[in-house]
Chains A and B, each alone.
Chain A
């Protein structure tokens, strides 16, 4: 008994997670895979097995699926690089030992702790075409240039500008990336820069051959987290635009939600969710693959 306890006693401690994993993750994953091959309306207890039919329908007939995939992919490809550039930029500035550094850090970090409906309404207010702050600031400029107010952007209410508006709003959330970059910058040994100074390297050369490579693990981390996060955007679409106008902000998860809980197509929505999982996995693996050789983990 004592020997057995010594060998397996630790499992007692991790059992809450293992049980939770089996009940809330492992079983649902396989069940969802099964559901994705069923015709099933979420309410009834009966479902008909239809094999790969849902997937075939999604890929060949579902225009809104392709649109949602495109919207989410574009969103990711714009937001992730801009977020990385933004957070690295601010971190570089904050790393210069300027007065008031803590105050700046607080201001730049703050939006990252706000999410949810209230934060979305803050931005609905900013983007309002009639009295939102953006157009209030643009109006004097338009008057000066003699352009009619009719050409003021309609932000989240315009089919062409809606997605861009959500990207813009996302840039306020660079806080965590900025913090990781700041810690990364503090971790670079000053002696590296001193050696470069002796070699007569300029600031740009130092940035390219010391700062960027030394920060590459942080960049990779921020990229992967950014990709995972962007593909799961839901609240902004649901709260601010409802996916519109003209499905311009129909984020993928919002589409899954609509299919499942509004149209009650449980099997179809499960198939959509599985495709999302595979897409995220593919992008994450692709990122790891493409960055291989560019990531510097000290000492190698």
Chain B
């Protein structure tokens, strides 16, 4: 009797494992195919399944070619500047605001907080056109300002995430600092921020990925090719080399690479971010 339950268990576990393996293969195939096509010589692109079986003829030069036929170094620089500036603004402002929500008392606090959460449901397209007019009035079109300055007001999701984390920091720390003569701003910068590194990293990562991959913003505001971000540059690249699939895949891999590296380095911060967002209080 006992052995039969044991056998059933192990058969069950093997089935589960096999299901997971086949799922993982299905998930991995598009990536594998992308890498394979990126490395293929120009005349072998339609070799079909043989490409997956035979990895001997690989053209690593495809990557170099793809990166040089268009000014990708320029796109990289532009994207880095926009991403990093926006990210710094977002993290600073969001943590500042989150501190207010987590530690300060003022009239209407809860209402404003709920209101802020509600704005996350608002499709950005509703405000897209008036905001465009606003920035055009400022003369900011075709500059990086529309893509970076708004970050200085913080982002609702980041504020929420940081506020949740700040709430878990014992208030005794604040009180001790208060007795030592620290003002609120010093408590924020010397106590709260240094104790919140994991949460701050989570916000940094989400913000980085979102800004790096943003298409709609640059599409609306950037016109001159020398100001293009990677997303726009990659689209321009496809427009010129639409039949060079190997080069297009090589360029796409390079564009994705920073996000992939970030993911592998900091997977647990992604997971904690999603959990704080998904399972509120």
Contact = CB atoms under 8 A, between A and B. Distances in A.
B65 to A, nearest CB: 16
Give the secondary structure class of A's interface. Answer: helix
Given A25-B127, A104-B20, A114 B270 contact: no
A122 B30 CA distance: 7
Interface in A176-191: 176, 179-180, 183-184
Contacts of A209: none
B125 interface: yes
Nearest to A252: B125
A72 to B, nearest CB: 11
A197 B189 CA distance: 53
Nearest to A115: B213
A125 B106 contact: no
Nearest to A235: B215
Interface string A197-218: 0000000000000000000011
Given A96-B13, A126-B33, A239-B235, A12 B100 contact: yes
B62 to A, nearest CB: 14
A117 B217 CA distance: 13
B271 A179 contact: yes
Given A24-B127, A107-B24, A277-B122, A13 B263 contact: no
Interface residues of B, number: 89
Interface string A12-31: 11101111110111011101
Interface stretch (A3-11, A54-62, A75-83, A157-165): A3-11
A240 B256 CA distance: 17
B16 A98 contact: yes
Interface string A96-136: 10111001101111110111111101110110101111001
Contact of B48 (A24, A113, A115, A136): A136
A253 B105 CA distance: 40
Contacts of A100: 17, 20
A111 B96 CA distance: 32
Given A31-B133, A113-B263, A273-B125, 15 more contacts: A9-B106, A23-B134, A29-B122, A35-B130, A93-B16, A116-B213, A126-B34, A131-B37, A139-B48, A179-B275, A217-B279, A231-B123, A253-B123, A261-B219, A273-B123
Contacts, number: 260
A276 to B, nearest CB: 6
Contact of B123 (A98, A137, A232): A232
Given A21-B153, A125-B249, A269 B129 contact: yes
A144 to B, nearest CB: 14
A270 interface: yes
A131 B50 CA distance: 11
A25 B259 CA distance: 29
Interface of A: 7-14, 16-21, 23-25, 27-29, 31-32, 35, 42, 90, 93-94, 96, 98-100, 103-104, 106-111, 113-119, 121-123, 125-126, 128, 130-133, 136-137, 139-140, 172, 176, 179-180, 183-184, 217-218, 221-222, 228, 231-232, 234-235, 238-239, 253, 256-257, 260-261, 266, 269-270, 273-274, 276-277, 280-281, 284
Nearest to B156: A17
B119 A25 contact: yes
